[in-house]
Amino acid sequence: MIKRPRRLRSSENIRNLVRETVLTLNDFIYPIFVVEGNGIKNEISSLPDNYHLSIDMLKKEIEEIYNLGIRAVLLFGIPKEKDEAGSGAYAIGGIVQKAIREIKRICKEMMVITDVCLCEYTSHGHCGLIRNGDVHNDSTLELIATTALSHVEAGADMVAPSDMMDGRVAAIRKKLDENDFNNIPIMAYSAKYASAFYGPFREAAFSAPQFGDRKTYQMDPANKLEALREVELDIEEGADIVMIKPALSYLDIINEVRNKCNLPVAAYNVSGEYAMLKAAVKMGWLDEKKAAVEMLTSIKRAGANIIISYYAKDIARWMKEDGIHAI
């Protein structure tokens, strides 16, 4: 035999030499959940090793993240009170706005990205204003854009709208530009599916819908071409980065978008994906490090430039322990 693929697998050195896909810390964004109160660091039961943190507890967390080599966080806020209009989302003294200012005080070099949505702030748990029993798209746009502006005014480096309202990227871009924030990028949750893998997050963010579901605005998991249309629309409206969420069940979508789009592509390794692996590890069925690295490598191999993952800190620790900069 002249052609023997095993020649390039015969040692660790040669495997490293020809490896096509590697993970570095520059690939990752780490999600953080902030809550009102003081002295709070409570582990989220559905997301082991992730916590609800009060503002005064952010210093230790941000310093740890930065010292591990992670340079970007994605903020989610849980307000003390909710109402039908989600007014806490765009309040000057809102929980996310306070957290942004505190993180920037602690570490100016940390990139602060904010999730822009109303679901954590509305009493009904939906991502916009309710009219006739459904989320009303156009009246929600102004609130989404106002929320994004309030985050940027507080010091956010990037905003990430996750509401899936039609036209929200254009509304945010217009609002930011009108207020001289034309250099702030938008990372759009462009193809966000109505997935069964969000359960642990909804527990963490106290954001489960109080009635119905989100299928009228989040995407049908069966659809691929629709995802490409959503991505195209967001690009036309001014998105700087497009995102696919979830990641593992949608690797084909990540790959399709990568092949058809010249913008950076992000993927959200969501709470259910993380929790499933943690549960299997707890039962002794999987090696956590090997499984997590394989899972995250598959997301990057599919075409994601950016990975939002609850495993980011673990990846950083493993790299540090092994004295390596890529894995």
Q: Which residues are catalytic?
A: 192, 245
Q: What angle do CA 101, 102, 108 make, to 5 degrees?
A: 80
Question: In a 3-state reduction of DSSP, which class is residue 315?
Answer: helix
Nearest Cα neighbor of 269 from 201, 325, 322 is 201
The single-letter code of the amino acid at 159 is V
* Concatenated DSSP letters of 159-182: EEE-S--TTHHHHHHHHHHHTT-T
Nearest Cα neighbor of 155 from 206, 208, 113, 214 is 113
Nearest Cα neighbor of 165 from 96, 122, 119 is 119
Tokens, residue 164: 């899936």
* CB-count exposure of residue 222 (10 Å: 0-12, 13-18, 19+): exposed
The single-letter code of the amino acid at 151 is H
Q: Are 95 and 52 in contact (CB under 8 A)?
A: no
Q: Are 158 and 210 in contact (CB under 8 A)?
A: no
**Helix, strand, coil percent content, the chain, rounded in steps of 5:** 45, 20, 35
